[in-house]
């Protein structure tokens, strides 16, 4: 973490970093299986280990079950987690994305009943925002809810919903007022995924994983007490959710890219034949050099993000600049490493130039989604154009 913070806080963060590093040397860090089912189980158990040790919800309020520390403390722990080659917990959508919005806008009952189970990993959450015809334009979503007695009755379809088939709860946007302007007739509901009328269908990605899902809702009854904020007032909460996701995600992923590049360099350095062919040696140096420069650019950009976290400004349009840059750099870093695999990228057991072909091919394919998930690159450009540059709406 490179930024200017108050000297007292800087000293406190370094002490906290030492504490994190010490704990990570003592705990058993799990191996993460390639099998998605096994991966989910292992990472859920890992979340329980982190929760019991007090490393979950670091920046959350104590009232919500967190540790009551700052976002910078959370960033320090994420950095140390990555440097220890330890995995992230499975419940990141709850922890980094929807949970902070429930904590800020939810009722006392929603916070006290739902958030402790979210933090411990007992409940896994998904995020029901994207739809088949509204993936990049959330205000056009069609999933609708009608009030019937003490319930909302929800029908429609969501898509690209990570872990929906294994999640216990979903933070979902639904249209509750068809007569209002598009973004003003939307509400934010908390939906129990075991409710009758919900069907989930995993989608097979080009990595072979089935992390993303389609979710079909047929007259699903959701108690009115599960409404977050005001009726028809979900758009502002959705913007908070997405802004929180972009800031936290950008900082965490930057550290992970740094670690990934260092892993690739270590593998390449251990290969005795890497410099045998001058043209191949040039390709290696170019790939590593381009990735290194890209990461320095991202590091410079995220200094401002860290400053915003220190000032606790909350989500702002500048988060879209981070997300847009992150998209490009994730694809550039993993694409550069994957290019070194040559045709052996389709041979998972191969180790061309010492590189673990299975890992780098998988990570390269996953990186292609970077310009879609969390808001497409086109949406980020629109936000930057309209809210930062003051250009007319698209």
Of 314, 138, 139, 160, the C-alpha closest to 243 is: 314
Q: 245 catalytic, yes or no?
A: yes
Cα separation, 258 vs 42, whole angstroms: 24
Number of neighbouring beta carbons within 10 Å of residue 204: 10
Phi and psi, residue 313, nearest 5°: -75, -15
Cα separation, 26 vs 28, whole angstroms: 7
Spell out the residues 6+ positions from residue 233 whose beta carbon is closer than 8 angstroms to its own.
187, 188
Number of neighbouring beta carbons within 10 Å of residue 39: 17
Tokens read off for 121:
């990993």
Spell out the residues 6+ positions from residue 392 whose beta carbon is closer than 8 angstroms to its own.
386
User: Is 213 strand, coil or helix?
Assistant: strand
In the chain, helix, strand, coil percent, each to 5? 55, 15, 30
Whether the Cβ atoms of residue 259 and residue 83 lie closer than 8 Å to each other: yes
Which residues pair with residue 201 across a beta bridge?
Answer: 214
Angle at 26 between CA 25 and CA 31, to 5 degrees: 75
Which residues pair with residue 202 across a beta bridge?
Answer: 213
E strand spans, 9-165:
125-128, 144-148, 151-158
Helix residue ranges, H only, 145-277: 234-269
Cα separation, 72 vs 89, whole angstroms: 18
Of residues 245, 256, 258, 318, which has the active-site annotation?
Answer: 245
Of 146, 149, 143, 148, the C-alpha closest to 170 is: 143
Of 173, 170, 168, the C-alpha closest to 187 is: 173
Angle at 200 between CA 242 and CA 165, to 5 degrees: 70
Catalytic sites, residue numbers: 245
């Amino acid at each position: 973490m490179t930024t200017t913070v108050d000297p007292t806080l800087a000293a406190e963060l370094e002490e906290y970093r030492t504490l994190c590093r010490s704990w990570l040397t003592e705990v058993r860090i799990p191996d993460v299986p390639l099998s998605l089912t096994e991966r989910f189980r292992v990472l859920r158990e890992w979340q329980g280990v982190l929760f019991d040790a007090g490393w979950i919800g670091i920046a959350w309020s104590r009232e919500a079950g967190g540790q009551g520390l700052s976002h910078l403390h959370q960033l320090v722990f994420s950095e140390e987690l990555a440097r220890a080659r330890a995995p992230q917990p499975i419940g990141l959508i709850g922890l980094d994305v929807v949970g902070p919005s429930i904590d800020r806008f939810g009722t006392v009952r929603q916070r006290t009943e739902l958030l402790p189970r979210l933090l411990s990993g007992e409940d896994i959450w998904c995020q029901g925002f994207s739809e088949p015809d509204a993936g990049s334009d959330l205000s056009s979503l069609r999933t609708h809810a009608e009030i019937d007695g003490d319930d909302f009755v929800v029908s429609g379809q969501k898509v690209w919903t990570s872990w929906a088939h294994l999640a216990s709860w979903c933070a979902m946007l639904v249209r509750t007022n068809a007569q209002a302007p598009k973004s003003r007739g939307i509400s934010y509901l908390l939906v129990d995924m075991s409710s009758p009328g919900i069907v989930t269908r995993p989608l097979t990605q080009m990595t072979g994983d089935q992390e993303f899902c389609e979710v079909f809702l047929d007259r699903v009854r959701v108690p009115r007490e599960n409404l977050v904020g005001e009726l028809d007032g979900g758009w502002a909460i959705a913007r908070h959710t997405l802004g929180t996701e972009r800031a936290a995600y950008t900082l965490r992923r930057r550290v992970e890219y740094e670690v990934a590049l260092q892993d690739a360099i270590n593998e390449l350095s251990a290969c005795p034949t890497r410099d045998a062919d001058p043209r191949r040696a040039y390709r290696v140096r170019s790939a590593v050099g381009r990735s290194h420069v890209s990461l320095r650019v991202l590091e410079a950009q995220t200094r401002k993000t860290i400053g915003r976290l220190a000032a606790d400004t909350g989500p702002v349009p500048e988060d879209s600049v981070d997300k847009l840059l992150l998209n490009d750099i994730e694809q550039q870093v993993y694409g550069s490493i994957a290019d070194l695999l040559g045709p052996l990228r389709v041979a998972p057991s191969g180790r061309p130039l010492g590189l673990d072909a299975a890992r780098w091919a998988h990570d390269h394919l996953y990186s292609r989604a970077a310009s879609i998930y969390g808001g497409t690159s086109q949406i980020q450009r629109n936000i930057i154009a309209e809210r930062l540059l003051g250009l007319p709406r698209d």
